[in-house]
Amino acid sequence: MEHLFVSLGGKLRERWIQAFPGAAVTASVASIGKSTSGPRGIVWLDLSATPDAQRAAQVRDAVAFGRPVVVMAPTPGEAEAFRLLNEGARGYCHVGAAPEQLREIALVVEHGGFWMPPELMQRYLALSLRVVPPPMSPENELNELTSRELMVAEQVAHGASNREIAAALNITERTVKAHLSAIFEKLGVRDRVQLALAMNNIPTYTTVN
């Protein structure tokens, strides 16, 4: 397994070699392609010298070579972690991670897992509740909607106008309005904006009246 560290600074070179005795260190993402044809190990991307704005692109480029990429950030942050993992990185850790930690991460990533610091993982899971369809439980207000009402609600959730909904469902605009009134009542929302947000699990704080 041939680990490749991409780093401009390279101050931590010794630490990396200590973690993976056979590891190579290079300065540019472009040279990932030039690696030997041996077993394709992890690409470790040191972003401490990369400006914020270019990090995503850098990760994307690295990922494009097809090897698993682990990002090492100088100041790991939640937002950045999620964005970079979304670019295709398989791991996200502190650039100063200890050798033992690096080996752990390597183990995880090599076996198809994802790795990020436990606090981030925790936060990540909590946040993602919002984007996941809630369980089909009885207390779910969506279950109060009839099938037709649900269709209308889903359209609104994607920003459709009454006219568009009518066209999509092959009914009159008047009927759309009828369904909408029922939906507002059942879900306790005021208008289509709040409905759209509610359908996407986004809370709305409205001043009473």
84 is written with which tokens?
């970079």
Give whole-number Cα distances, 11 to 16, 63, 80, 163, in Å. 10, 24, 23, 62
- By CB under 8 A, residue 64 contacts a copy of itself: no
The phi and psi torsions of 168 (rounded to 5 degrees) equal: -65, -35
145: helix, strand or coil = coil
Least Å distance, CB 31 to a copy of itself, is 26
**Six token digits for residue 119:** 């606090």
- Minimum Å gap between C-beta 24 and a copy of itself is 23
Q: Which helix (H) or strand (E) holds 69?
A: strand 69-73
| Amino acid, single-letter form, for residue 3 | H
Residue 113 CB: number of other CB atoms within 10 A? Answer: 11
Binding a copy of itself (rule: CB under 8 A), the pick from 37, 126, 147, 170 is: 126
Kindly determine how many residues on this chain lie close enough to bind a copy of itself according to the rule CB under 8 A.
57
Q: Select 13 or 163, whichever has its Cβ closest to DNA.
A: 163
Q: Please report whether residue 147 would count as binding DNA according to CB under 7 A.
A: yes
Q: Which of 1, 30, 98, 125 binds a copy of itself (CB under 8 A)?
A: 125
- Tell me which amino acid residue 88 is: G
Based on the shown chain and the rule CB under 8 A, indicate whether residue 151 belongs to the binding site for a copy of itself: no
Which of a copy of itself, DNA, none interacts with 148 (beta carbon under 5 to 8 A by kind)?
DNA
Q: Which of 180, 187, 198, 199 binds DNA (CB under 7 A)?
A: 180
Look at strands 2-6 and 40-46 and give their pairing.
parallel
For 33, other C-beta atoms within 10 Å of its C-beta total 10
Binding site for a copy of itself (CB under 8 A): 52-53, 56, 78-79, 82-83, 85-86, 104-105, 107-109, 111-115, 118, 121, 124-133, 135-138, 156, 158-161, 164, 167-168, 190-194, 196-197, 200, 202-207
Binding site for DNA (CB under 7 A): 146-149, 161-163, 169-172, 174-175, 177-181, 184, 191-193
